[in-house]
Each structure stands twice: as structure tokens, then as C-alpha cells.
Chains A and B, each alone.
Chain A
Amino acid sequence: MKLTVAGKNKEYADGITVAQLVELENVETPQYVTVTVNDEFVESGSFAETTLKDGDTVEFLYFMGGGSATLHQYRSID
């Protein structure tokens, strides 16, 4: 089946789940990634139960820090 993953058209085995796609796409820190399918959030606990279908659009949204430290607990990090 065809999926659009992070803006790119790709071919995958029929009926794979979000959890399987996360693994196939080598998603960094998969336990903290936010996933949307067709512009809807997938609950973080239900990746394994969410089956994808032909034509779905999937996005991975990642935590990204960066900038300047401004909390006292993070004084050493910059």
C-alpha cells in the first residue's frame, strides 16, 4: 500500500501499524515522538493498535530543544 510519510510517498506492506512504521522508519526516541495520521493525533499508547490503510498521510513530530538556558535547573545546559 502507498503511504505519505513525512511528506514522501512510500510503499509498505498492507495493514502495517503505526508501531511497525515507527520501527521501519528508524524514528529517533520513538517513545517520545508525536504521530499524526491524516492530520489527527494518534494517542501515544495506541501505536500498536492503529492500523494504517492505503493512502494515509503520516507525520512524526519530534521534541527539539535548542536556544538558551533560562531555567535555574538547567543552568549548566546551554
Chain B
Amino acid sequence: MAFTNEQLERYSRHIILKEVGAKGQKKLSQAKVLIIGAGGLGAPAALYLAAAGVGTIGIVDADEVDLSNLQRQVIHTTADIGKPKVQSAKETMEAINPDVTVNTYHTFVTSENVLDLIGDYDFILDGTDNFPAKFLINDACVMAKKPFSHAGIIRFKGQLMTYVPGQGPCYRCVFKNPPPKDAVPTCKQAGVIGAMGGVIGSLQAMEAVKYIVGAGDLLTGWLLTFDALKMEWHKVKLPSDTSKCAVCGDHPTITELVDYEQAECDMKK
């Protein structure tokens, strides 16, 4: 597939980069990235991936745009209130770049559908806000051998790490099990500064682009944290021994996907 003159102009700032070039831009146009959550993290990530010319972008979210989302979820506008977030996100991405094919999944992510959702994609972005979903996405990506970017944001802080199969620890290596419900505050309870989604979500898009074009070093084996009040970044080296991990280790004890809240309910019976 050759680029049209219009595409050469659209992607000229990429193509001129030696780490991208026409070859990397072609890889982007053939790549498929799935964004789970069209919220604080997924919104900016989706904007940059669409603008970058990622050929196929999938977006998963069961919610509708709410007024309280607009402080940070920059892919949606006031006119989109009440519309499914995936629809609003698709319209914005297509308006930015008609080259991009956007697949929408107006659904929650569960143990039933997550493997089907991620199956068609080369790289996954976790833009969810709760721990059951984060563990589910991690375990599914480990089992399906899919690379993914994990991120979290709260108040004035954010962090992210990248998992690539066989190249470093997964999320569960670091955080063994989800904390009990409400034990650790979420954005709704604790608040989050809007621009934090832009900072960390953009870095997730950056990791996806680097993975696709094969440029530089990913955050595999590292957790990058950002404290906006102190304006401090900190890159934490993660232990490289993954052999004991319950899901990605040598003798995994987790071999089926778990919906954590459901499991708790089951135990009470």
C-alpha cells in the first residue's frame, strides 16, 4: 500500500523521524489497537492514536457521556451528553482522521467477553478505573499473549507500566490481588485533576506507537509514576523474576479469568 500525497503530508512529521519513517507509518496504518475505557485515560489516548494514523482502533465502554465526564474526557463535547461514549469517541476520531477504522463495543468488560474483545488486536490500552477490570485485563492479556499498557490516575498522581509477553513482569506480579472494594479510593471518591488523564493517557498512546514501530525502550519492567503537585517523575525498576507470579509465572495458579466482585458474592453463599 502506497501513501497518497495527502497522507504523506498528514504524517510528514512522523515520516521525517528516523525512528518512524515511511516504514513505521505503514506499520501504524496496519496496526490494530484496542482501548478499554473511553474515559480520562482512553479519551486522550484515542485522540493521539487516531491522529497518528493507527489503522484500526477498537474502543470499549458501556457508559454514556455525562456532564461530570467533560472536565477530563476530552474526546467528548457538551453536545455529546447522553450519547454512548464509544459513539462519541468514534465520531471525534473519524473527524480527526478519516483514514482510521473505528470499531465500537458498547459493553462492559467481563470474563465472558474480554478474550473475544482483545483477540483481534495487536496492543491493548487499559483505561479502566477499577481494580477488578484491571486484573481481568492483565490476566486476559497474559493468557492471550497480548502486550498492553496499564495505567492509573488519582488526585494529582498517575502511573503506568507496559507488559509485553515474556519480556517482564505483569500487573499481577506487582499487585498480587485486587484490594477489597472501597479500601483504596477511586477517582469519583477522591477526585482527579483533568490534565492528569492527558499526561498519562498520552503516554499510553506513546507506548502503543513505540511498540508498533519498534522504537526505543518500553516501560516493560518499569513503573513510571508522576506527582503533579511536586512536578516529579519517578521510574521504579520492577523485580525481573516473574517465576512465582500466579498468572504469568512458571506454575500459574490462575488459569481462568475471574470477575472479582462476582467471586466475592459466590463465596458468601
- The reply on A26 being an interface residue by CB < 8 A is no
Report the bound CA distance from A65 to B69 in whole Å: 16
Q: Are A70 and B133 in touch, CB under 8 angstroms?
A: yes
Note all chain A residues with C-beta closer than 8 A to B157.
Answer: 64
Q: Are B184 and A32 in touch, CB under 8 angstroms?
A: yes
Report the bound CA distance from A6 to B185 in whole Å: 22
Interface of A is mostly: loop
- The reply on B238 being an interface residue by CB < 8 A is yes
Q: Answer whether A67 and B152 are a contact pair too, CB < 8 Å, given A34-B174, A78-B129.
A: yes
Least distance between A60 CB and chain B CB atoms (Å): 9
Closest 10 CB pairs of A and B: A68-B39, A64-B152, A68-B37, A66-B153, A73-B261, A67-B41, A67-B127, A67-B129, A74-B130, A65-B186
- The reply on A1 being an interface residue by CB < 8 A is no
Report the bound CA distance from A40 to B244 in whole Å: 12
The residues of B with any CB-CB pair to A shorter than 8 Å are 36-42, 60-63, 66, 68-69, 73, 85, 108-110, 126-134, 136, 151-154, 157-159, 174-176, 179, 183-189, 192, 196-197, 200, 223, 234, 236-241, 259, 261-262
Least distance between A30 CB and chain B CB atoms (Å): 11
- The reply on A61 being an interface residue by CB < 8 A is yes
Known: A64-B153, A70-B108, A74-B261. 15 other contacts (CB 8 A): A6-B234, A32-B179, A34-B174, A36-B239, A59-B236, A63-B152, A65-B154, A66-B151, A68-B39, A70-B129, A71-B108, A71-B130, A71-B132, A71-B259, A75-B62
Report the bound CA distance from A34 to B225 in whole Å: 14
**Residue among B40, B183, B189, B237 making CB contact with A67, cutoff 8 Å:** B40
**Residue among B40, B63, B68, B184 making CB contact with A63, cutoff 8 Å:** B184
Q: Are B158 and A64 in touch, CB under 8 angstroms?
A: yes
